[in-house]
Structure 1
Amino acid sequence: MRWTSAFLSLNLGLSLAGGVAAADLPLEKLNLPDGFAIEVYVDDVPNARQMAQGDKGTLFIGTRAAGDVYAVQDTDGDGRPDTRRVIASELERPSGVAWHEGDLYVAEISRIRRYPGIEQQLASGEELQYSLFVDGLPSETHHGWKYIDFGPDGHLYVPVGAPCNICDEPLPFASILRVAKGGGDYEVYSRGVRNSVGFDWHPQTGELWFTDNGRDMLGDEVPYCELNRVSEAGEHFGYPYFHAGTVRDPEFGEGKDPADYTPPVLGLGPHVAPLGIYFYEGEAFPEDYRHLFIVEHGSWNRSKKIGYRVKMAVLAGNDVVDYRPFIDGWLNNDEDDSYWGRPVALLPLADGSLLLSDDYAGVVYRVSYQGS
């Protein structure tokens, strides 16, 4: 049996982009495992993408097309956000945000801003100050928006997507970069990565796992998008020569050997567009759900849409032994393949629940375990 509990506990009286009020979202259509609930945690955040949380609880939300960065706070201490503020606007697709040692990092297409002591700055009421942590990244907008995060080594990891559907461009395109702790300089950490918009580190091994969006225009079923694991710096994951490990690219794969490249840990399905991932480490979810969650944003050019859901990769040590739905229902599966939401990224809260952004509905959900 699958069920959902929909609590629209936050409605600030504002409408979503497109004119749909958060209270009108059909959360009853979402399917979750027994005992889990989903609610709208923050509404009216058009094009909500990656999230980060400060030490004092401020929730920062990046956007892509909207060009804004939000700060959302709980000012009365009741555990629910009640204020929302745009802290930066008219940026170039500031999709990625990260929190590290009191500072907020915001990724645009070609640069990354650092807002020192951001929560103290917000409390002061003065104009926010920032410096450039990284500058001079490629300016191409195709796959140029970024997901960023700090690794266990204290370095900032930044993907640079391929500026195309399929092409063979020089580095740093199609890579994941590791930025020096002081900013500025970077090194290529992984190569052959077409378009990664989500990654996390395995809590036991410390290895970087990331999703990668497969190329288009080879048909509905080929290639699968990928879940990858970095065993050592410098690995090449195949793009543009091979896709999903063994699919030779008709334009660039001739004369190449698939054994020269690192295959994916798991094929995620054709054109599902995987974005955010998160290794669940809390204790609020039952033990059977303390695995790797993967957000599938959903296909855009497949004749029958697929994705638009959150799935869970069940782990046995460092291996994936099952891949199954966790939340679905945003895709209506009607004649028109209509949908009303597209999930993007995950962020844990201190109570063990998970926040989930949705750039189509313009909201952030909270997923919690209520018990059977």
Structure 2
Amino acid sequence: MKYILGVLTLLFAVMYSNLGHTLPLEKLTLPDGFKIEVYAEGVTNARQMAWGKNGIIYVGSRGEGKVHAVVDTDKDGKADKVVVVAENLTMPTGIAYKDGDLYVAAVSEVLKFENIDDVYANSPKPEVVISGLPTETHHGWKYIDFGPDGWLYVPVGAPCNICQTVGDGKFDDPRFASILKFDLATGEMKWVAKGVRNTVGFDWQPDSKELWFSDNGRDWMGDDIPPCEINRVTADDQHFGYPYIHGGDIIDPEFGSGKDPDDYTKPELKLGAHVAPLGVHFYQGEHFPAAYKKSLFVAEHGSWNRSEKSGYRVMRANFDGTEIGSYETFIEGFLNPDDTVWGRPVAFLTLPDGSMLISDDFANVIYKVTYQK
């Protein structure tokens, strides 16, 4: 019996180790000079990533309920070990690292794992640092990060496709459909943005320090409306339209009656309908060509209910320092000509050497993008 178990374990290990190599990376197209390869495999349902001490990369998941540590032990530029840091959490997609501690968003609470780099392999016990957030799991998974002001930014998605979240008997909580921020030292909470259906990615423009975020448009208005959005926060108390206005000018048929689109903040960029933008990332590394510096990368996770699939690609928005210029494809090929899919990009992380990681929660891998002149 022990022999059989040993053989099965060996076979599983071989399958596990070869998983990433079976992905059809040759189908992916990138601009000249860029290369994509698998950095880590077997990272089930890989979502947001954070860079820790000694090059350890922490990765959240959604349906898997686990937090992983991805380690490059031999420092060859590719991970060779994946460790489960925590499990049985509720959609721990959001990951943030600060001062040696790991923060994990699990729908209704945010957990802190102290000195994570020293204890990640020992099933560490977390401390709850934010509690009492809504428990709804519909759009309840989160992307979190510390802003330039030191506060922890935490979105709370709408608990539905389309619904009234203020003054409604079922979902009467003003925190729904918003982005919040918390001072963890005092417990103080402030609103950053309202009228945000579901953001699963944001970043700060490196010069202005303004927050830019993706927002997923509502479903069941047709294949081509409303557009998904890239938005920018430029002032306090901005409302981005949900559930009344979509894409800056489309009045919602259920909740938009009597609403004026000009009363709401319009998107900086309208994307395709249902492309599901998740991670957004201002590139600040030195490895890519100079033209890519401060470009905004967008992970279009891909549609789920469109008659012909859309998204399933990585996009790049040129940025002149004040506004978006062209919006062009950076990586495509995850979507096959027959409308089947083998990968779905989620989030970004620029490494200290300027190369860029991209998580994929469908292929269960993390890719690494490099450039060679």
TM over 0.5: yes
Greater strand content? 1
Deviation at 1:116, TM superposition (A): 1.1
State the alpha-carbon separation in 2 of the partners of residues 35 and 183 from structure 1. 48
Per-residue CA deviation, residues 302-341 of structure 1 (Å, 9 max, x unaligned), is 111100000001112211111000000000121xx10100
Q: Contact 1:155–1:181 (CA<8 Å) still a contact in 2?
A: yes
- DSSP 3-state at the match of 2:55: coil
Runs (4+) of structure 1 moved beyond 4 Å?
none
- DSSP 3-state at the match of 2:124: coil
- DSSP 3-state at the match of 1:204: coil
Match of 1:354 among 349, 353, 356: 356
Give the AA of the match of 1:327. I
- DSSP 3-state at the match of 2:47: strand
State the alpha-carbon separation in 1 of the partners of residues 237 and 183 from structure 2. 16
Aligned position for 2:145 = 149
Aligned position for 1:15 = 16
Match of 1:343 among 345, 352, 355: 345
TM normalised by structure 1 equals 0.92
The 1:61–1:29 alpha-carbon spacing in structure 2 relative to 1, beyond 3 Å, is same
Aligned position for 1:8 = none
Structure-to-structure mapping, 1:1-372, within 5 angstroms: 13-15=14-16, 21-122=19-120, 126-170=122-166, 171-182=174-185, 184-290=187-293, 291-334=295-338, 337-371=339-373
* Cα RMSD after superposing both structures: 1.5
- DSSP 3-state at the match of 1:15: helix
Deviation at 1:81, TM superposition (A): 1.9
Give ranges in structure 2 of 5+ residues lacking alignment.
Answer: 1-12, 167-173
Aligned position for 2:3 = none
Greater mean deviation of Cα atoms: 74-83 or 325-334: 74-83
State the alpha-carbon separation in 2 of the partners of residues 355 and 92 from structure 1. 25
Q: Contact 2:42–2:82 (CA<8 Å) still a contact in 1?
A: no
Q: Contact 2:39–2:77 (CA<8 Å) still a contact in 1?
A: no
- DSSP 3-state at the match of 1:227: strand
- DSSP 3-state at the match of 1:137: coil
Q: Contact 2:94–2:143 (CA<8 Å) still a contact in 1?
A: yes
Give the AA of the match of 1:287. A
Per-residue CA deviation, residues 262-297 of structure 1 (Å, 9 max, x unaligned), is 000000111100000110111111122221101100
Deviation at 1:233, TM superposition (A): 2.4
Deviation at 1:198, TM superposition (A): 0.2
Deviation at 1:84, TM superposition (A): 1.5
- DSSP 3-state at the match of 1:276: strand
Aligned position for 2:171 = none
Give the AA of the match of 1:324. E
The 1:177–1:284 alpha-carbon spacing in structure 2 relative to 1, beyond 3 Å, is same
Give ranges in structure 1 of 5+ residues lacking alignment.
Answer: 1-11
State the alpha-carbon separation in 2 of the partners of residues 70 and 307 from structure 1. 27
Q: Contact 1:51–1:61 (CA<8 Å) still a contact in 2?
A: yes
State the alpha-carbon separation in 2 of the partners of residues 158 and 326 from structure 1. 28
Deviation at 1:55, TM superposition (A): 2.3
- DSSP 3-state at the match of 2:228: strand
- DSSP 3-state at the match of 1:31: coil
The 1:98–1:59 alpha-carbon spacing in structure 2 relative to 1, beyond 3 Å, is same
State the alpha-carbon separation in 2 of the partners of residues 53 and 293 from structure 1. 18
Give the AA of the match of 2:95. V
Greater helix content? 2
Q: Contact 1:134–1:183 (CA<8 Å) still a contact in 2?
A: no
Deviation at 1:126, TM superposition (A): 4.5
Deviation at 1:113, TM superposition (A): 0.3
Per-residue CA deviation, residues 80-130 of structure 1 (Å, 9 max, x unaligned), is 3222110101110101101111110011010010011111223xx654132
Q: How many residues align?
A: 354
**Percent of aligned pairs sharing the same letter:** 56
Per-residue CA deviation, residues 114-158 of structure 1 (Å, 9 max, x unaligned), is 011111223xx6541321111110000100000001100011101
State the alpha-carbon separation in 1 of the partners of residues 123 and 346 from structure 2. 30
The 1:42–1:183 alpha-carbon spacing in structure 2 relative to 1, beyond 3 Å, is farther
TM normalised by structure 2 equals 0.92
Deviation at 1:76, TM superposition (A): 2.7
Q: Contact 1:14–1:43 (CA<8 Å) still a contact in 2?
A: no
State the alpha-carbon separation in 1 of the partners of residues 189 and 254 from structure 2. 30
State the alpha-carbon separation in 2 of the partners of residues 13 and 202 from structure 1. 43
